[in-house]
Amino acid sequence: MDRVFQALADETRRAMVQRLIRGPVSVSELARPLEMSLPAVMQHIQVLEACGLVRSEKIGRVRTCRIEPDVLRTAEDWLAEQRTSWERRLDRLGDYLLDDPGTPEQGSL
């Protein structure tokens, strides 16, 4: 999962993933809105493929990329677990602060 988050740390790769979530697309179409060379786009795709987020296949002269939803879902699940854990902790802290008799009331500062 470290490689997935390292890949997603880059803004260009996040934009590629966002586009691929809508469906498979050719490399040239994926590169169209990006201000970089096709070889640079291919390097980004290779990073996404290496971590398993993206799969590509070449048919004739066209290379088509698609998202690997299971890998993306694993990252989403991990983030959701972290968010839930932190929300519980913050809720407990809020409850503690409200119940603490030594804490000044909200309006009395």
Domains, the chain, in order of start with CATH, read: 1-68 (1.10.10.10)
User: Residue 48: which of 75, 81, 80 has the closest Cα?
Assistant: 75
Does residue 67 carry a pLDDT above 90?
Answer: yes
* Mean pLDDT, rounded, for 21-39: 94
* Mean pLDDT, rounded, for 87-99: 88
Q: Compute CA 101 distance to the chain's CA centroid, rounded to the nearest angstrom.
A: 42
The pLDDT score that the predictor gives to residue 70 is 93
In degrees and rounded to multiples of 5, residue 60 shows phi and psi of 65, -125
- What's the CA gap between 9 and 37, in Å, rounded? 20
The pLDDT score that the predictor gives to residue 3 is 94
Residue with tokens 């993206």: 54
Answer whether 0.95 is exceeded by the pTM.
Answer: no
Helix axis angle, 11-21 relative to 38-50, nearest 10°?
A: 80
